[in-house]
Amino acid sequence: MTLHIPFDNSYAALPDGFFTRLDPTPVAQPALIAFNQSLADQLGLTGTDDPRLAAIFGGNAVPDGAAPLAQLYAGHQFGQFNPQLGDGRAILLGETVGRDGMRRDIQLKGSGPTPYSRMGDGRAWLGPVLREYVVSEAMHALGVPTTRALAAVRSGEDIIRDTGPVPGAVLTRVAQSHIRVGTFQIFAARRDLGALQTLYDYTLARHYPDAKDPAELLQRVIERQAALVAQWMSLGFIHGVMNTDNCTLSGETIDYGPCAFMDAYDPETVFSSIDRFGRYGYAAQADIIVWNMAQLATALIPLMPEPEAAVEQFTAQVHAMPDLIRAEWERRFAAKIGISTPRPEDKTLIADLLTRMQAGRADFTNTFRALSDGTARDEFTDPAAFDDWQTGWQDRLANEPDPQALMRATNPAIIPRNHRVEEMIAAAVAGDDAPFHRLNAALATPFDDNPDTADLRRAPLPDEVVPATFCGT
C-alpha cells in the first residue's frame, strides 16, 4: 500500500513572514530504525506498510498533501535574547487532525539546512535522535504532556561533530503545535503588531478557543506550564535547556537535548554540558518557568488596549505563578508518599524525606517506588535515617484509603536511566539496535514490575554514572 497522511495544514496558510517554505534535503541511504505504529494509527495514517517509509521519514520523498516549511522564532538562550532563531535543522511537513480530533504537527528533525541554520549543517546525529525517541515516548507513557516520536531513520551518511564523524539520523516528531514563547517574541521584538495579532488569533483558535483576551491566554499557558514543570520535578526529570524557544504555548515538553532523569536525589543536579552555572538545574526549573512566562507576558503587552494597565495585570499573574507550581508540586509529592488528600503539614513530611534522601544519596526513582513494598530503607546509605522518618509517615497514612495503590500508580518502576540510554546509543552506533528496541518496549509500561527488565531499573554503579549530557547540535 501507499502511505497516506491526511494532511490538513493551517500554519502554512499564515503569511510567509512566519516561515520559509522549503523541502527537506535528501539523505544518502535512508534506513528505518523505528516506526511508531500506535501513534500513526492515532494520527489517521494509512498504508504504513509502504516500503517507502524510510524515504519519506528520512526526507527523500515529500508525501502528498504536505506543505514543508521551516518556522521562524526568536528566543532567550541562557538568558540572552537572540532576535532570530528558527528551525535550523527541522522541517514541518504539515498537520493532521487525528482520530481523537486533536490537531498535531508532523515535523522532520535533522532534515537539512534552512535559512535559520546559522552556519550549521541542519543535520542530527544518531545519538540525540534515539535519545529523543526513547525519552519522549517514555514521558508519554508516564502521563507527561510531551511531543512524541513517530519514526527514526538512519541517513546512511556521517556528519561532523566536535568528536569527529558520527552517523546521521532523522527523527519524525509529533506535537500539538510548535508555537513557542519565542514565536511571540520575534514579532514583538520587531514591533510587527500585525503579525503578532495574527499569531495570537491563530494560537487562540488552535489551543485556547474559549480565551477572551491576551490576559486569559497568558493565564492558561501559565497554568499548563506550572503543572508541567511540577510534574517533571515529581519524576526527577531535568529538561536541561529551558530556553524560551523550547517553551511551548500548548504546554508540552519539547526538545529533548541535554535532558536527563536524576539518579541519587540532589536538588542542585545539573546534567547539561552547556549549563555552566546551573540555570536549568533540577530545582531551578520552577524559577525558570516563571521567568519564561514573564517573557511571554512582555511579548503580549502590545496586544492590550492599555499597555500600562496590562503591565500591572500581567505582573500580578506572573507573580502568582510560584504558588501554582508549589500547590501542584505538593499534590504530586503527597501522592508519591501515598497521601490522596494533602494537608498543609504534609509539606514538612515531604521535605524531611527529601532532605534525608539527599544526605543518604538515595536513588530518587527507586526510593519512591520502594515505599509501597517496604524496602525503601535499603536505598539509604544509613537506613536509620529512613527509619526515623518512617514512624511519622505511617501515622499519617493511617486514615488514607489505599496508599500502596496510589504510590504504585504514581511512582514509576522504570525510567530512561542515563547510563542505559548511553549504552543503547553506543550499541546503535555500532550497528546493534536491539538495546534501543528493548529499552523502548520496557519504558512503554513504566508502572509495571517486570522481572525481565530488572537490569534497566537498577541505579548506576559508580563507574556507570553519566555526569553530563549533550545537546547534539
Q: State the catalytic residues.
A: 245
How far apart, in whole angstroms, are the C-alpha atoms of residue 418 and residue 440? 14
Residue found under cell 517507502: 52
How distant, in Å, are the alpha carbons of 10, 90, 295, 458 from that of 72?
A: 16, 11, 17, 42
Nearest to 237 by CA among 211, 218, 220, 256: 256
Distance (Å, whole) CA 320 – CA 305? 23
Q: 141, 416 in Cβ contact below 8 A?
A: no
Handedness of CA 375, 377, 378, 379 (dihedral sign): positive
- Spatial distance between the Cα atoms of 363 and 367, rounded to a whole number of angstroms: 6
Chain-centre distance of CA 37, in angstroms?
A: 21
Closest residue by Cα to residue 57 from 124, 145, 121, 10:
124
For residue 324, the tally of other CB atoms under 10 A from its CB is: 18
Say how many Å lie between the first and final Cα of the chain, rounded: 36
Enclosing H/E stretch for 40: helix 37-43
The letter for the amino acid at 381 is: T
Taken in order 184, 231, 287, 220, is the CA torsion positive or negative? positive
Under 8 Å between Cβ of 285 and 293: no
Nearest to 112 by CA among 55, 80, 155: 155
CA angle 131/135/139 to nearest 5° reads 170
**Rounded distance, CA 410 to CA 36, Å?**
25
Q: Which residues pair with 35 in a beta bridge?
A: 151
Q: Are 292 and 181 in contact (CB under 8 A)?
A: yes
Cell numbers for 208: 485556547
**What three-state secondary structure class fits 400?**
coil
Partner residues linked to 80 by β-bridges:
77
The amino acid occupying position 470 is F
Closest C-alpha to 156, from 59, 79, 85, 66: 59
